[in-house]
Structure 1
Amino acid sequence: MAHRRPTMHDVARAAGVSPATVSRVVNNERYIRKETRAAVEQAIAELGFERNAAARSLRPGQTTNTVALVIEDAVNPFWSAVTDGAEEVARRHQHMLVVASTRQSYDRERDLLRDLVLRRRVDGVLVVPTAHPQRDLHAELNRWAPMVFLDRTPAGVPADAVVLDNQGGARRAVESLLAQGHRRVAYVGGDPSVGTGKSRLAGYKQALKRAGLPYDPALVRLNAHTVDDARAAATGLLGDADAFFADNNRMCVGVLHAVRGVRVGVAAFDDIEFADLLPHPITLVTYDAGAFGAHAAELLFARMTGADTPPKRSVYHTTLVTRGG
């Protein structure tokens, strides 16, 4: 059950002043006694009162006709496609979609979500959670505005989520490399604490096990966060690996830079731009990113219009394709 938001009247009662005085403090007006300002600010902190930037323009029962999409990387083409899909659904429901990027920062995610939900009062939020656990934050904000998670599912938060078949897709990609005769398949990935990374690494290990091959940690490079990181990681494995699996599209670009001119197998999770122009074939785990974003947005609008079914976790299946060559 949702908790009631603390109001200016609550702050006024706690501080022993009038609501008008609270408003003057919140708006940083002059000619307020230091003792009065301190009492109001203490009450605000204790009650967790948040000034609502949109509230003054809303009547009771009205909405902002705005939903938010909080992603991790606005530059990545994958998230651009997800945004397009979500925006189309929002327009169909006569809502504006506001997009913000956490840049994989815990602090930015916390600040963005609190600003969007508590101050700007968006009607709902699509969010890609960062690797850092924020169960309390997500659970709290989900009480004020419906929330749907994309790509990752935080533990303990009762909300809908749309995720990819990360483990199955990675397993099939690595199996395709093994079917080509490769036996020293290297893994180049990002943050191993992120749910997607964990699942894709698990798929890699599963493919090796099914083929009767040992898991060799010396062939695994993690915590690559940029294209340059991935290129350096793959370069260090040249000569030891006869194939590479990259766990996302940015990692794949780095691997391709490293193996240019070297005949090795390459597979990756996510499609990449201009892959058809590559001189040698690569195997990619693909899916419709626009439909992925649209499906998440449809779940969000269903919640916003009163759907009270148990939280749903939708798994989006993937397809293997060969590009280039």
Structure 2
Amino acid sequence: MHFNISKVLDHRKDISNFVDHRKDISTEKEALADLLASSGDHFPGSDFHPADRKTWMSELGPDRLRINQIVWPGTHDSATNDIGVPLVTRPFAECQTRSIYDQLVLGTRVLDVRVEKGRHICHGILQSYSVDVVLDGVKRFLSEAESEIVILEIRTEYGHEDPPEFDKYLVEQLGDLLIHHDDAVFGKTVAEVLPKRIICVWKPRNSPAPAAGSPLWSAGYLRDNWIDTDLPKTKFDSNMKHLGEQPPSAARKYFYRVEHTVTPKPENPVVKMVDNEIRPFARLFIAQTFAQGFADRLQVFSTDFIDEDFVDACAGMTQARVEGQGIS
């Protein structure tokens, strides 16, 4: 039998690199844990818990709550709850386990939805149900919660083609619920935009972007600074740096998103396992925006596998803004 020493050495190198990388992840998670232990995760509004997360915006008062005061709890890859084959491909693509409707009932208010040419949900090469399932879930929720506002971002997934005439389809499906593009919306109260309920941001890859003043909003109105890393403190610090470079939310005419997520890698591919390295530190991130003087800039805060505590943290910071507790 021929013995290939180069393949053996390459294999040992791969194992060594994997071990070193796992050490880096562990070191970064420990650094976040140390920061949490030394500085805590208390912030104005952190003790607030909505009486009903389904209607938490209503609870804060539609006549008082301005669009640019809201800290919007969002989900990343929102419609991946039924993607792939269970126990086979799903662990590598599923970023949420709840349906769109259930996420909204939980308190989510920003949805990140990826589509392909045939109007199916997708994440990379994997496809799932029709986008109609998403739109039906949104409409069902809004029929039950009359003073809640939702930001619905729909984009064509990387590597896919735009669905034909998808802008017209969205307008037909969402109709009178759509809050048409208008820069003045940011300074309005929730009550002033009702009964319209959805800010729909359509991000095609090649089709024309929505025009100013149209029923849909273009890509520039929901911005972020995503970096490709599975290192939790690297992502945490990058999010803080980019947030610090933004104007205060009350002074800008676009939504800015911080994605409290990390990215799976070939050697670390299971989404939930990777995200568990950063998910426990969401409240720490909010607390650090106060410590570093950026609390007036946090606006859309998104996560994988959203839970009640994440929603409460965002709603609590929003409540503090409404009450004037140290934040504009």
TM-score normalised per structure 2: 0.30
Larger radius of gyration: 1
Q: Which has the higher contact order (CA 8 A, sep 6+)?
A: 2
TM-score (norm: length of structure 1): 0.30
